[in-house]
Amino acid sequence: MNTKQLRQKILDLAIRGKLVPQDPNDEPASVLLARIAKEKEILVKEGKIKAAKKVKQSSIPADRSHYGALPSGWAICAINDVFIVNPRNVVDDDTVVSFVPMALIEDGFTNRFSFQERPWKDIKSGFTHFAENDVGLAKITPCLENRKSAVFADLMNGVGAGTTELHIFRTFENGVLPLYLLWFLKSETFIQSCIGAFAGAVGQQRVGKEHVAKTLLPIPPLAEQHRIVTVIESAFAIIDEIENSKGNLQTVIADTKSKILSLAMQGKLVPQDPADEPASVLLERIKTERARLVKAGKIKPDKRGKDTAATRDNSHYAGLPVGWAAARLGEIANIVMGQSPSGDSVTANADGMEFHQGKIYFTDRMLASSGQYTSESNKIADKDSVLLCVRAPVGIVNITDREIAIGRGLCSLTPLGGMTVDFLFHWLTALQQSLIEQATGTTFQAITTDVVRQQAISVPPLAEQRRIVTVIETMFARLDSIAAEFA
User: Which range among 17-21, 62-66, 187-191, 387-391 shows the weakest confidence by mean pLDDT?
Assistant: 62-66
**Stronger pLDDT, 255 or 190, i.e. the higher one:** 190
User: Which range among 42-46, 246-250, 299-303 shows the weakest confidence by mean pLDDT?
Assistant: 246-250
Q: What percent of the chain has pLDDT over 90?
A: 73
Question: Is the distance from CB of 388 to CB of 444 less than 8 angstroms?
Answer: no
pLDDT (tens digit, 9 = 90+) per residue, 140-169?
999 999 999 999 999 999 999 999 999 999
Q: Tell me what pLDDT residue 9 has.
A: 94
Q: Tell me what pLDDT residue 347 has.
A: 87
The model carries a pTM of 0.65
* Beta carbons within 8 Å of 211's beta carbon, 6+ residues apart: 193, 194, 197
Residue 97 has pLDDT above 90, yes or no: yes
Can you tell me the mean pLDDT for 291-313? 72
Beta bridge partners of 322: none
Exposure of 126 in the CB half-sphere (CA atoms within 13 A): 4
Please provide residue 324's backbone torsions phi and psi, each rounded to the nearest 5 degrees: -85, 170
Residue 325 has pLDDT above 70, yes or no: yes
Residue 449 has pLDDT above 80, yes or no: yes
Q: pLDDT category, 381, cuts 50, 70, 90?
A: very high
For the beta sheet containing 166-171, the strands, ordered from the edge strand earlier in sequence to the opposite edge, are 83-85, 166-171, 134-138, 149-152
pLDDT (tens digit, 9 = 90+) per residue, 253-270?
888 999 999 999 999 999
pLDDT (tens digit, 9 = 90+) per residue, 235-245?
998 888 777 65
Residue 390 has pLDDT above 90, yes or no: yes
* Beta carbons within 8 Å of 65's beta carbon, 6+ residues apart: none
| Bond before 393 cis per omega within 30 degrees | yes
Question: Is the distance from CB of 295 to CB of 324 less than 8 angstroms?
Answer: no
Question: Which of the 8 DSSP states describes residue 278?
Answer: P
Q: pLDDT category, 344, cuts 50, 70, 90?
A: confident
Mean residue pLDDT of the chain comes to: 89
Q: pLDDT category, 59, cuts 50, 70, 90?
A: very low
CA pair distance 126, 91, nearest whole angstrom: 15
Q: pLDDT category, 62, cuts 50, 70, 90?
A: very low
Task: Rounding to the nearest 10 degrees, give the CA dihedral for residues 197, 198, 200, 205.
Answer: 170
Q: Tell me what pLDDT residue 123 has.
A: 96
Can you tell me the mean pLDDT for 376-384? 91
Question: Is the distance from CB of 386 to CB of 425 less than 8 angstroms?
Answer: yes
- Using left for φ > 0, alpha for ψ between -120 and 50, and beta otherwise, residue 229 falls in alpha
Q: pLDDT category, 203, cuts 50, 70, 90?
A: low
For the chain, which domains are there? 1-24+222-274+461-487 (no CATH), 28-220 (3.90.220.20), 279-460 (3.90.220.20)
Residue 308 has pLDDT above 60, yes or no: no
Can you tell me the mean pLDDT for 191-206? 84
Helix (H), strand (E) at residue 62: helix 60-64
Q: What are the start-end ranges of the E strands in 215-304?
A: 216-219
Count of residues in the chain: 487
